[in-house]
Structure formats: structure tokens, C-alpha cells
Structure 1
Amino acid sequence: MNDPKATQPENFRDLYNKAIELLARREHSQAELREKLKRKFECTDADIAQVLARLVELGYQCDQRFAVAFTRERLYRGLGERRIIQELKFKGINASIGEAILAEQAQGDFAAEILIERTWRKKFKAIPQDQKERAKQYRFLQYRGFGGDDISRLFERLKCMPDDDW
């Protein structure tokens, strides 16, 4: 179909085994598994749906569990809420699920103020001295998924900090 390397599965077991092999490496969303199985095998959507249903039934695949693991990993990398939700949507996860998970995770080390400051400090060593540098830092933080209000509050906090806190 899509990929010239795709093969015809012998039976349900081939699809199932490949899905298990993928899940053994890391969590996958249903949309990711569906896409990978389509690329690997020439089969119908109904065949893939049957495999996915069985994996969910057995507890081997869970979109909620995938979203939690994915969100945590992205937070550790210093990404903001907007970027994480965008990536979850790309992986086939509903935005409302992503927002709920982020709300649960947004405590302690992952509070928005702490996360944005940690991300900023990792990249930049000094507060922006001119408009050009401020715009550069602002764009970087936006790209990482932080909102304009959060970025503005960070710059205000940084201005108020004594120099010996650097």
C-alpha cells in the first residue's frame, strides 16, 4: 500500500506480535501503532482495529498511560504547555486529555514559573540588555511552548533579582 517494503501479514498473530514488539520498546498511542502497522503490513483498517482492541483489552496499550509518560518526558526536557499539547495532538491524543495531565503535573518542579525559569537559565546566562536580545530570548521560550504572559512574568522576575542570585 504505502510502503513498498510492506508485507502481507500471515494472520492476526503477525500484526499482534509486531504491535507487542513496538510496545516493548516504549509506550505508543493507538494512532502511532496504527500508522506503524500500516507501514509494515498490507492489511485492512479492520484488522488493525482488531489488534488494537485486543491490546487495550489486555492492558498492553493505553492512550492515557502513553500521554502521561510522554508529557513527563517533555516536561523534563523543559518544554512548555503549548508545545506539549501540540505534540500530543500530533500523536493522536485529544487536547483535553493533555490539558488534564498537564494540570496534574504542574506542581513542584513542573510549576510553570519554575519550569520556564529553569529552561531560560539552561540556555541564557544573563537577562537581556537590549531589545534584540530580549526578542531572541522571547522567541526561544515561545518555541519551547511557553505563553507570552509567562515569558513576560519571567522577565519581570529576572529584573527584580539581585545580581548575586545569578
Structure 2
Amino acid sequence: MAKLQISLKARALRYLSMREHSRMELERKLSRYAEEKDDIPALLDMLEAAKYLSAERFSDSLVNRRSARFGNNRIIAELQSHGLPGEEISRVKVELVESEAERAVDTLHRKYPVAPTEHVERAKQARFLQQRGFSSRAIQAAMRAPREDEED
């Protein structure tokens, strides 16, 4: 029995119904199934005009998924890798700057609930935050914040 061929538009709508995608990501996924006569950029333009595909919604979705675990540098780098326009990335940067120190504290305290007693452990915890893309200002604020064992 032959498999039913799904049109590119139906495939794109299926991808978008599962989660938000960037234009570049959706184009890459659809190019696998495109034939020579298919015009993927025209399809993506039509999806954007119909508000099915939105860079703003994608960036908000990615920020919501990543902000609890990662810092601004990591989130911005991921947005850039998805080919989002510069004004969208600037908008997200402004929103993220306000909450970065608080997110760094939450991330650090979730992983390390006890304050470091030695310099080696302190450096390890700072590196943990650095690898997650937090700025040095946010790392310093998180390291200074009181831990569960210090609040007594």
C-alpha cells in the first residue's frame, strides 16, 4: 500500500501546531520534502502573512523554555542561530536584562543549595553559571545571595 503524500503546506502546519518554529528552521525541515517545483520561500511568506509563522512568537516561546535554566548570552546566541532579525533580538535582550540576576540565583540555588566553603568549590559554581550563559554581573549577584543554610 502506497504512503499518502502530504503537501508542504500541511507538513508546515503540522510542525507549527507542535511548537513555534523560526523561518530558517521551518525552511530547513521542509526542504527535505520539497520537489523542484515547490517554492518554499513563497509558502513561508504566505504562512507569515496568515500569522501562522511569527518571529516574535518564536522568540517568546524560546525565551520561555530557556530562561529558567540559561543566561542571556546563551539565549541570545540561540536566537541568532535561528536567523531572527536584529530588532527582534534587541527586543528580547531588553526584556531579559531585568531578570538575569534573579534567574542566576534560582539556577545556582537549585543545583547547589549549600554555599561553598572553599575557593575551589566557589570557582566550580561560578563556572557552572558561566557555562549556562550568565553574565559576570549576574554570576557575582548569585554567588553573594544567601543560601538555605545561611538564612538561619
Please, what TM-score do these two structures have when normalized by structure 2?
0.84
**Structure 2: gaps of 5 or more residues:** none
What does residue 23 of structure 1 align with? 16
Q: Does 1:64 align with 2:56?
A: yes
Q: Does residue 38 of structure 1 match 2:24?
A: no
Question: Within 2, Cα distance between the matches of 1:91 and 1:155?
Answer: 32
Runs (5+) with no aligned partner, structure 1 = 1-9
User: Does residue 165 of structure 1 match 2:147?
Assistant: no
Q: Structure 1 residue aligned with 2:105, among 109, 113, 117? A: 117
The offset of 1:97, in angstroms, is 1.8
Two-structure CA RMSD over aligned residues (Å):
2.4
For 1:98, the equivalent position in structure 2 comes to 89
Cα offset for 1:151?
0.8
1:89 to 35, 58, 80: 80
* 8 Å Cα contact 2:126-2:143 kept in structure 1: no
Deviation at 1:53, TM superposition (A): 0.5
Aligned residues: 148
Give the letter for the 2:75 counterpart.
I
Preserved CA contact (<8 Å) 1:19 1:33:
yes
Please identify runs of 4+ aligned residues in structure 1 that moved more than 4 A: 161-164
Normalised by the length of structure 1, the TM-score is 0.78
Say if 2:71 and 2:132, in contact at 8 Å, map to a contact too: yes
Q: Distance between the aligned counterparts of 1:163 and 1:17, measured in 2?
A: 55
- 1:86-141 Cα distance to aligned partner (Å, 9 max, x none): 1111122235423412423555xxx2222111000100022222221112111110
How many angstroms does 1:154 deviate by?
A: 2.3
Query: If each structure's helix is expressed as a fraction of its own residues, which one has the higher value?
Result: 1
